[in-house]
A = this chain, B = another copy of it.
Amino acid sequence: MKIKTGSEYMSSLQATNPVIYYKGEKIEDVTVHPATAPHVRAAAMTYALASQDEYHDLATATSHLTGREISRFTHVHQNVEDLIKKVKLLRVLGQKTGTCFQRCVGFDGINATYATVYEIDKKHGTNYLERFKKWLIRIQDENLMVVGAMTDPKGDRSKSPADQPDPDQYVHVVERRDDGIVIRGAKVHMTGAVNSHEILVMPTAAMNEASKDYAVICSLPIDAPGVTMIFGRQANDSRRDLQENLDVGKPSFGVVGGEAVLVFEDVFVPRENVYMDGETDFSGLIVHRFAAHHRANYGACKTGLMDVLTGAVTYLAQIQGTAKGSHVRDKVTEMIHLSETLYSSSIACSAEGVPTPSGAYMVDTMLANVCKQNVTRFHFEVARLAVDLAGGFIATLPSEHDLRNEDVGHLVKKYFSGVEGIPVEDRMKIGRLIEAMTGGTAMVESMHGAGSPQAQRIMIFREGKLNEKIKLAKALAGIPSRKEKEVYPQLISREK
């Protein structure tokens, strides 16, 4: 691994020249700009853990391509153990950053692409996998951060890509040249894009023949000509931008992964970095696989976040003098219960992982979707309980400026203290931490990251093996089997 530490990672970013806009201005150095630096630090933690003895085994792997030690975030899962170690790694990272550390997106993109282009080659006689392996070995050896770029803006959602009034609402090939392709469009919600080295473009949905130009997988550097990023606003971003650290709640890290819209204005991609071009019959499959991996992850990293939140409210209860209340204990219990329920599905879909034809391991699709579906419920409920236990002061607390003010600072100190002997800053900091982890952007990301709730429900229904379940019920009820048409004939899950 070329990049070995968090600081080497930061230096490597300074060596790139991406075009990034934020609040109407360009960001020159993401490692120091207050809007992006917290996100850089969270991603840096993925590098840092690899060099700590305690986490080395979780944070690294042995490349099946080269036999060399690599970051787990660049690894193609080779067995169930790999899948489970990933889950544990993500929970630790969630605990240590309290936020999104962003690097799963490229990780899952790599795994989904690897398994899928293997099958494209088998069917269509292409040689995508060789190209992809070559690129991947470089990613592994240099230990680069990759942004997985899947979600298109979609424009009018009642229309397919080819039917959009504006054809650019989905990324597509606008020119094919001997040496490569030219792409146009945008990818939205690009977590970690501004501090990545490389982009891995993938299609966002199953496509039909008419959408051939939209079925494209390729990779390119983050600072390729024609690539522009616009970094999104987040809850209370001005506190972060103005470095009002006490009020930020989490002084080192952001509220979620920094997210950008990533625009491709006729960007050239060399042929050797193109891994799908028009094979619409596989565009659904790569989405299916990427989504399953990514949904599995949410039960791990979000559990890490909920661990932090549970600790935060417990500490706050202690310093407010309420820790002994039976309803406090009961709500803390509920927070743990919901967190561990989530974690269960991440572990379970990994333990039930299966090899794809390429040898790369996939999580169990059903359980991975179940996992993310629960995130969209339980993370909100855990946040609600945290808000309940924290008390109203997290919504009415004066700013750090008032605490430091010579006229009223003593009043803030006097009237926001809790149990004797605990500095008022402790209560303010922990209150702000809870505020940051329960409000706005943090929750929205939890809802929609890795796919909105309805996307999981469609998969859960489809993978539900309903016709088999009907047979079980009829057998028990003593109803004779007859030749009857299946209720949901369309329900044939791809991989089972």
Known: A348-B347, A415-B186. A461 touches B329 (CB 8 A): yes
A464 close to chain B: CB less than 8 A? yes
Known: A340-B366, A392-B452. A401 touches B24 (CB 8 A): yes
What per-residue 1/0 map shows which CB atoms of A360-373 lie under 8 Å from chain B? Answer: 00000011001101
The answer on a CB contact under 8 Å between B414 and A228 is no
The answer on a CB contact under 8 Å between B239 and A238 is yes
The answer on a CB contact under 8 Å between B238 and A242 is yes
Q: Bound state CA distance, A23 and B169, in angstroms? A: 43
Docked complex: A446-474 residues within 8 A CB-CB of B = 447-449, 452-454, 457, 460-461, 464, 466, 468-474
The answer on a CB contact under 8 Å between B324 and A430 is no
Q: How many copies does the complex hold?
A: 4
Most B C-beta atoms less than 10 A away, residue of A169, A318, A392, A488:
A392
The answer on a CB contact under 8 Å between B21 and A405 is yes
* Residues of chain B lying within 8 A (CB to CB) of residue A309: 473
A412 close to chain B: CB less than 8 A? yes
Q: Which of A6-14, A48-56, A214-222, A416-424 contacts B (4 or more CB under 8 A)?
A: A416-424
A344 close to chain B: CB less than 8 A? yes
- Nearest Cβ distance between residue A30 and chain B, in whole angstroms? 16
The answer on a CB contact under 8 Å between B408 and A98 is no
The residue of chain B having its C-beta at the shortest distance from the C-beta of A168 within the complex is: B414
Question: How many A residues have CB within 8 A of the partner chain?
Answer: 159
The residue of chain B having its C-beta at the shortest distance from the C-beta of A259 within the complex is: B396
Most B C-beta atoms less than 10 A away, residue of A311, A433, A471:
A311
Q: Taking chain A's interface residues, is the majority helix, strand, or loop, or is none over half, making it mixed?
A: helix
- Nearest Cβ distance between residue A256 and chain B, in whole angstroms? 7
A252 close to chain B: CB less than 8 A? yes
Docked complex: A231-247 residues within 8 A CB-CB of B = 231-236, 238-239, 242, 245, 247
A429 close to chain B: CB less than 8 A? yes
Q: Bound state CA distance, A278 and B412, in angstroms? A: 28
Contact of A433 among B236, B326, B473 (CB under 8 A): B473
What per-residue 1/0 map shows which CB atoms of A456-496 lie under 8 Å from chain B? Answer: 01001100101011111111111100000001100000000
The answer on a CB contact under 8 Å between A153 and B416 is yes
Known: A311-B471, A472-B95. A461 touches B333 (CB 8 A): yes
Q: Bound state CA distance, A165 and B367, in angstroms? A: 43
Known: A155-B418, A345-B344. A307 touches B392 (CB 8 A): no
Known: A392-B189, A396-B189, A416-B153. A466 touches B332 (CB 8 A): yes
Q: A332-B464, A395-B445 are in contact. List 17 more A-B contacts (CB 8 A).
A: A22-B398, A153-B416, A155-B418, A230-B408, A235-B439, A308-B469, A310-B464, A326-B326, A340-B460, A343-B348, A344-B344, A347-B348, A351-B351, A380-B380, A388-B447, A425-B479, A426-B479
Pairs A–B under 8 Å by Cβ, sample size 24? A25-B401, A155-B321, A156-B321, A186-B414, A189-B396, A230-B402, A232-B398, A238-B239, A251-B477, A256-B395, A308-B473, A314-B488, A326-B330, A327-B330, A345-B348, A347-B347, A347-B348, A380-B380, A387-B443, A390-B444, A392-B452, A430-B473, A435-B440, A440-B440
